[in-house]
Amino acid sequence: MALVETRDLVKKFGDLTAVDHISFTVGRGEVVGFLGPNGAGKSTTMKIISGFLEPTSGSAFIAGHDSHADPILARRHLGYLPEGAPAYSDMSVAAFLEFVAGMHGLSRATANNRLAELVERVDLAGVWNQRIESLSKGFKRRVGIAQALVHDPDVLVLDEPTDGLDPNQKHEMRQLIRSIAANKAIVISTHILEEVEAICSRAIIIAKGRMLADATPQQLMERAPEQGSFAITISSAQPQVAVDLLGAQSGVARIEIVRHSNGSARLLVHAGEVKPNAQDLISLLGRSNIVVEEFYQERARLDEVFRQITHSVAGH
Amino acid sequence: MMKSSVRSLILLRGIDMRTIGLIFRREFSAYFATPLAAVFLAIFLALAAGMCFFVAGFFDRAQADLSGFFLWHPWLFLVLMPAVAMRLWAEERRSGTIELLMTLPVHVWEVVVGKWLAAWAFAGLALVLTMPVWITVNFLGSPDNGVILASYIGSWLMAGAFLAISSCISALTKSQVLAFISSAAVGFLFVMAGFDLVLAGLRSWAPPLVLDVVRSMSFIGNFQRITDGVLEMPSMIFFVSLIIFALWLNVQAIDVKKAA
């Protein structure tokens, strides 16, 4: 059973359609990255899933409960980190987490056990009795995560969990998410693409409220324009010779001379439908006595794919 | 919206006292998390006593009652109660915690009631701290303590009505200042409802029945009937009904914002 499901979600703010027919499901064990440019409708979609906003049409389900018709049941299964990780700044970390645990209906004993575990897991021991307003951004974000985990929910919806964290904190946050991913359904929104590669089993790309892709990071990479192409630096005064040689190879669509100076040239070999074989290209150049200084296989980058996909609607 | 409000009313029976208690505790202690509570209580006590002893001439009147003390409560509350309630919802909206709060497995009703109760308890604390005035009057003479008790209860209920109205208005904005000013303005209409200032605007066109209804909603009129020791019950019921109605509107205000 899908733990999170949206069916044809639409949300309009006046004339603006912020969310435009978004449908997807997330099962247990999945970490779905919600990607999109700013203002794409990521946060609005998450607010609807959590039940904070009502959709104009369509519905959202958490563990099978409609988050609007059946909000209490749905929310029992939900851990939610709103955008910006809001928390009551006048409370201590301990008081705040105890408050949230109580609101989830945990008994005092259960709450204490859970909190003791979370202190370790989210590393909050050092600030346990500190007021939230005095915490650094990284700790505030951790408090937000702890708050979402207090009742050990099946579903986690985290709106930009690593926003504003330094690289070390980002790394820790990702490790934390990975460590709890196995028996939960997790949706995180982000605009950091490396994050998707690092923790997500699936990525959903939205722009202008519409879903443009729903695929694994690997599948998305295969759409990258530079997938399977090569960057080759040769020492040759006449790179055109190499270009002609390589251009005749099967799988080579197009060759660019990116740089040509001081008897050395950098070529970019774009692949066609069938990828050329790296070994073949190297031995071909070797046979023609062209000295290869560098030979890279270009790695597909998700941000290229992202740009390509989101640009197709940006013109609207 | 209609559907959800009917649902809220049905759920009222099954309100989880624990949730209300948690909200109440959080909100009540929030007052004391900053110096605000101390400042507020000091101002309230200074004004309440000052008005009683100096403006109303407590000693010159040489009467053993507290009518000069209670006389000023509608005016004091008009300014001070919006200050107590303005942060209840506006602060949640400004800081974004409302998103956290309203995605917990709780009913809107429980939160609305818990928050209002915290503010009301705070107002109650302020009233309790005026006890020395009551002790003084008992020391100097023998007042009708039944009337004084009724007046305290009436004053607390009137404070509750101001707070419920202010809480409802606070739910509509993320600006505490705006919440304060709007609540004081609406409160002013209720305070003055029995006076020409409000009635004159209606007299030219509204039927007499409307005038009577508006006049009957006057805070000053209702409170005076309580402090005079006559006809306390209808006025107490008026304040209680107004509190319930304003809190119901408060729930609607939250629901409407959700769909917007």
Task: List, as one string, the DSSP characters of chain B.
Answer: -HHHHHHHHHHGGG--HHHHHHHHHHHHHHHHTSTHHHHHHHHHHHHHHHIIIIIS-HHHHT-SS-HHHHTTHHHHHHHHHHHHHTHHHHHHHHHSHHHHHTTSS--HHHHHHHHHHHHHHHHHHHHHTTHHHHHHHHHHS---HHHHHHHHHHHHHHHHHHHHHHHHHHTT-S-HHHHHHHHHHHHHHHHTTTSHHHHHHHHTTS-HHHHHHHHHT-HHHHHHHHHTTSSHHHHHHHHHHHHHHHHHHHHHHHHHHHH-
CA B134 to CA B149: how far, in whole Å?
A: 10
CA B65 to CA A61: how far, in whole Å?
A: 63
Q: How much is the pLDDT for B132?
A: 87
For residue B1, what pLDDT band results from cuts at 50, 70 and 90? very low
Contacts of B97 in chain A (CB under 8 A): 86-88
Output phi, psi for A50, to 5 deg: -75, -15
Q: How much is the pLDDT for B16?
A: 62
Q: What is the mean pLDDT of chain A?
A: 88
- Give me the mean pLDDT over the B232-251 stretch: 94
- Give me the mean pLDDT over the B174-201 stretch: 90
Closest chain B residue to the Cα of A77, Cα to Cα:
B105
For residues A221-248, one letter each, b for 16 or more C-beta atoms within 10 angstroms of the residue's C-beta and e for the rest, the string is bebbebbbbbbbbbebeebeebbebbee
Higher-confidence position of B18 and B198: B18
For residues A107-120, one letter each, b for 16 or more C-beta atoms within 10 angstroms of the residue's C-beta and e for the rest, the string is eeeebeebbeebbe
Contacts of B105 in chain A (CB under 8 A): 71-73, 75-76, 103-105
Interface check for B22 against chain A (CB to CB < 8 A): the answer is yes
Output phi, psi for A130, to 5 deg: -85, 150
Interface check for B6 against chain A (CB to CB < 8 A): the answer is no
For A121, the enclosing helix (H) or strand (E) is: helix A108-122
Specify the 3-state DSSP secondary structure of A37: coil
Residue A299 has pLDDT above 60, yes or no: yes
Compute the nearest-CA separation of B241 from chain A (Å). Answer: 29
Q: ipTM more than 0.85? A: yes
For A245, the enclosing helix (H) or strand (E) is: helix A239-247
Inter-chain touch B99–A88, beta carbons under 8 Å: no
Q: What is the CA angle B244-B249-B254, rounded to 5?
A: 130
Q: How much is the pLDDT for B62?
A: 61
A residues 54..83 contacting B (CB < 8 A): 54, 71-73, 75-76, 78, 80, 82-83
Q: What is the mean pLDDT of chain B?
A: 87
Residue A224 has pLDDT above 60, yes or no: yes
For residue A172, what pLDDT band results from cuts at 50, 70 and 90? confident
Nearest to A86 among B16, B96, B104 (CB): B96
CA B85 to CA B162: how far, in whole Å?
A: 9
Residue B2 has pLDDT above 60, yes or no: no
Compute the nearest-CA separation of A205 from chain B (Å). Answer: 24
Residues 6+ apart with CB under 8 A from A289: none
A residues 266..305 contacting B (CB < 8 A): none
Inter-chain touch A87–B97, beta carbons under 8 Å: yes
B residues 85..144 contacting A (CB < 8 A): 95-97, 99-100, 102-107
CA B226 to CA B232: how far, in whole Å?
A: 5
Nearest to A52 among B16, B22, B99 (CB): B99
Nearest to B105 among A54, A76, A91 (CB): A76
Residue A10 has pLDDT above 60, yes or no: yes
Residues 6+ apart with CB under 8 A from A187: A4, A26, A32, A34, A46, A49, A155, A156, A157, A158
Nearest to A90 among B34, B104, B259 (CB): B34
Q: How much is the pLDDT for A314?
A: 53
Single-letter residue type at B31 = Y
- Give me the mean pLDDT over the B66-90 stretch: 92
Higher-confidence position of B188 and A222: B188
Rounded to whole angstroms, what are the CA distances from A113 to A106, B48, B172? Answer: 10, 48, 38
Picking from A88, A106, A141 by the largest number of B CB atoms within 10 A of its own CB, the best residue to mutate is A88
Inter-chain touch A52–B102, beta carbons under 8 Å: yes
Nearest to A99 among B16, B26, B258 (CB): B26
- Model confidence over B4-18: pLDDT tens digits? 554 555 454 444 688
Listing DSSP states for A128-173 in one string gives TTSBGGGS-HHHHHHHHHHHHHTT--SEEEEESTTTT--HHHHHHH
Residue B122 has pLDDT above 70, yes or no: yes
CA B103 to CA A241: how far, in whole Å?
A: 66
- Give me the mean pLDDT over the A67-72 stretch: 92
- Give me the mean pLDDT over the A118-132 stretch: 91
CA A21 to CA A266: how far, in whole Å?
A: 46
Q: How much is the pLDDT for B61?
A: 66
Specify the 3-state DSSP secondary structure of A216: coil
Question: CB of A212 within 8 A of CB of A205?
Answer: yes
Q: How much is the pLDDT for A282?
A: 83
Question: CB of A203 within 8 A of CB of A217?
Answer: yes
* C-alpha R_g of chain B: 19
pLDDT > 70: percent of chain A? 97
CA A72 to CA A55: how far, in whole Å?
A: 17
- Give me the mean pLDDT over the B145-162 stretch: 94
- Model confidence over A70-103: pLDDT tens digits? 999 999 999 999 999 999 999 999 999 999 999 9
Place of tokens 């929030």: B30
Round to the nearest angstrom and report the end-to-end CA distance of chain A: 37
Round to the nearest angstrom and report the end-to-end CA distance of chain B: 11
CA A75 to CA A72: how far, in whole Å?
A: 5
For residue B59, what pLDDT band results from cuts at 50, 70 and 90? low
Contacts of A91 in chain B (CB under 8 A): 26, 30, 33
Contacts of B258 in chain A (CB under 8 A): 52-54
pLDDT > 70: percent of chain B? 90
- Give me the mean pLDDT over the B85-110 stretch: 94
Picking from B19, B100, B111 by the largest number of A CB atoms within 10 A of its own CB, the best residue to mutate is B100
CA B144 to CA B229: how far, in whole Å?
A: 9
Residue A316 has pLDDT above 80, yes or no: no
CA A314 to CA B44: how far, in whole Å?
A: 58
Closest chain A residue to the Cα of B11, Cα to Cα:
A72
